Amino acid sequence: MLPEATQTQPCPLCKQPLPVVKTVCPYCQYSKRLGKKLGSTGFPPPVSKPVQGKPFQAAKPRKRSSLMTDSKIDWGTIAAGVAMMLGAVIWFGLGLLLGILFYYPPVLFIIGLVTCFKGLAGY
């Protein structure tokens, strides 16, 4: 007599050979224990027909319509640089009106200018 693992019997649903120890048919997903077909497992069926359709075509490159869609320009960095320069001008101007000469606003203005250029370069 053959060992139990090598004995087969036909599946009740699709008639494919099914080992006796298996409870679910790998071809049609019929469960011997439940007596019905199980839901989809997400795997494709063992035998499938080739898909008919158009051959694969590569996507056409899209044109950029304006500077706002250019990926090289970082608008957030440019806005931060402009805010630094504006803050430096206001700080320096208020200091001059009050008769105080601040040394940090020109440094902040230069840092803002460098930040704007970095944003234009995409860094």
Q: Tell me the whole-structure pTM to 2 decimals.
A: 0.43
Tens digits of per-residue pLDDT, 85-95?
Answer: 999 999 999 99
Please tell me the distance from the alpha carbon of residue 84 to that of residue 116, in angstroms, as a whole number: 10
Helix (H) or strand (E) holding 96: helix 75-97
Please tell me the distance from the alpha carbon of residue 25 to that of residue 42, in angstroms, as a whole number: 15
Mean pLDDT of all residues in 55-68: 63
What is the predicted pLDDT for the residue at 3? 55
97-102 contacts at long range (C-beta below 8 A, 24 or more positions apart): none
Q: How many CB atoms lie within 10 A of CB 13?
A: 16
Side chain identity, residue 89: V
Q: What are phi and psi of 78, to 5 degrees?
A: -65, -45
What is the predicted pLDDT for the residue at 30? 86
Q: Is the pLDDT of residue 62 over 80?
A: no
